[in-house]
Amino acid sequence: MKRIFILLLIIIGLGIFFWQGIYLAKDYSLAEEKLFLVEKGDNLFLIAESLEKEDLIKNKCFFEFYVFLKGAQGRLQAGEYSLSPAMSVAEIAKKIISGDVAKIIVTIPEGFTVAQIEEKLGFKLPGENLEGFLFPDTYQFPLRVTGAEVVEKMQANFQEKTKGLEITPEIIIMASLLEKEVKTKEEKELAADILWKRLEIGMPLQVDAAPETYERLGLPEAPICNPGLESIMAAIYPESSEYWYYLSTPEGETLFSKTLEEHNIKKAEYLK
């Protein structure tokens, strides 16, 4: 009986010891994260040893035990991870098992050009005819993301967001004009109707955001920016009206007119 009691105490003691080692962080006061690299081919024991050397965990045995317990020794993924001593072994292991690598979060506003996207990212994007087809959104990229990976993700997002829509180069060019010219959904739909009507009768578009439309008929040869979904939808589904002209006031309001005379009066009043 005494032996059983002692054995039970040992088992309980070991259980508490391993529970603390796995679920309590090495140092909660050291919350600043640092990058930890898992290279391709690194096995469980090498990763555990590196974590201990980097002072991220108390002892490599706890990491090894937890991963074995989860049966995940073959699922540890390569990459750079944001880790700190304020994280428990369980939290660190779950990150590496799931491949939750360190990321950068980048928001690309609607209407950004390829050049503006490149400036924000800090590197060039490969490929041709990208303008108009890099969908504006908030993205999470791995720390050392390549230009090709950025293009692939943004274009895949474009395809996903426009699935089921009748997308043509002309639609995206028109949407890019609307994105730069007017602000609200309603304004975009009315402006789209005006511009499509002008195209139909061979009237110059005269869009301030695309100066060439004052000098030549038709749409610009390519999109002038990367439009959002609202502008794309407005280009596809314009709001029919009797308007033929519009102008934007310095305050950002868009004024619509049915005749050139009415338009000129508004220009004289609001664009002094």
162-179 tens-digit pLDDT: 999 999 999 999 999 999
Would you state the pLDDT for residue 79?
A: 92
What is the distance in angstroms between the CA of the first residue and the CA of the last residue of the chain? 100
Distances (CA, A) of 203 to 11, 189, 192, 214, 244: 87, 19, 14, 10, 10
| Confidence at residue 13, expressed as pLDDT on a 0 to 100 scale | 60
Q: 21-98 has which CATH code?
A: 3.30.1490.480
CA distances from 68 to 19, 65, 97, 140 (A): 14, 5, 12, 31
All CATH 3.30.1490.480 domain ranges of the chain, comma separated, are 21-98
Pairing mode of beta strands 34-38, 79-83: antiparallel
Q: What is the pLDDT of residue 169?
A: 97
**Could you give the CA distance from residue 212 to residue 253 in angstroms, rounded to a whole number?**
24
Higher-scoring residue by pLDDT: 208, 23: 208
Angle, vertex CA 10, rays to CA 9 and CA 11, nearest 5: 90
Q: How is the chain split among helix, strand and coil, in percent rounded to 5?
A: 45, 10, 40
- What tens digit of pLDDT does each residue of 99-152 get? 999 999 999 999 999 999 999 999 999 999 999 999 999 999 988 899 999 999
Element (H, E) at 21: helix 2-23
DSSP 38-106: E-TT--HHHHHHHHHHTTSSS-HHHHHHHHHHHT-TT----EEEEE-TTS-HHHHHHHHHHT---EEEE
Q: What is the pLDDT of residues 34-54, one digit of tens each?
A: 999 999 999 999 999 999 999
pLDDT average, residue stretch 203-221: 95
C-alpha–C-alpha distance, residues 2 and 228, integer Å: 74
Which helix (H) or strand (E) segment holds residue 16: the answer is helix 2-23
Residue given tokens 């920016």 in the structure block: 225
pLDDT confidence of residue 22: 85
Give the whole-angstrom CA distance, residue 116 versus residue 12.
61
